[in-house]
Amino acid sequence: MSLSDKSVLITGGGTGVGADMALAFAKQGARVFISGRTTNSLEKVASNHHQISAVTADVTDETSVKSMFDQIGAMDIVIANAGAAESAPLVKTDLDSWNRMIAVNLTGVFLTLKEGLINMNGKEWGRLISVASTAGLCGYSYVAPYSAAKHGVIGLTKSLALEVAKKGITVNALCPGFLNTEMTDRSVATIVEKTGMSEDEARATIAKNNPQGRLIEPAEVSAAALWLCGNGSEGINGQAISISGGEI
């Protein structure tokens, strides 16, 4: 695959899956822009490849998202990857926590895809990809706001896919299971704190969700994103692609 004529935006590109995607796309020749709120993290990722540039932005703020696209220009590929997770029983979840989860995990995707599509105006080819989760395909206990937001991302993806179906643009969602990333590290720490399990026991408990008995690697999500941008992917539109070892 060569993406040497393509430009890519990846939100949440300073850590985890976003950082892995950035390097994967850059290695295929694409000009990659990564965004996030933490400049140091973004610059560290950008330093790994000359094709990667960093731009600071907050996907929950419409003005910030518009400014981000003003800085980087029209993109061929827009990947709405930024997200965050918090865990608590629903009865102990306050409105602020709910609003935070909806803002970053759903509103942020809406704003990113909306502005990305506007900036693709006139292009005969484009790819819009949202990074959702298996939590958007089923329910998980103690993360109801996160799961609700990810379900919303999948609904948004499917609806937008129909709107652009005749424009040479596809819209799809990637739905990984529990990932071997910093976000899962934080979940492990929470389990250890609240249950007294060892770190290994907590990690094994999370991995059991995957029938393969393991965490999904970021590179597996990157590979799926590259596939959606390669030749032969034109008919893949409006899909929520589970990357979960058979869990869903």
Q: What is the pLDDT along the chain (248 residues), one digit of tens a residue?
A: 789 999 999 999 999 999 999 999 999 999 999 999 999 999 999 999 999 999 999 999 999 999 999 999 999 999 999 999 998 999 999 999 999 999 999 999 999 999 999 999 989 999 999 999 999 999 999 999 999 999 999 999 999 999 999 999 999 999 999 999 888 888 888 888 888 999 888 888 889 999 999 999 999 999 999 999 999 999 999 999 999 999 99
Q: What is the pLDDT of residue 205?
A: 87
Q: What is the pLDDT of residue 1?
A: 72
b/e for 35-50, b at 16 or more Cβ within 10 A?
Answer: bbbeeebbeebbeeee
Q: Which domains does the chain have, with CATH numbers?
A: 7-177+217-238 (3.40.50.720), 178-215 (no CATH)
Q: pTM for the whole thing?
A: 0.95
Q: Which residues are catalytic?
A: 146
According to DSSP, the β-strands at 52-56 and 31-36 are parallel
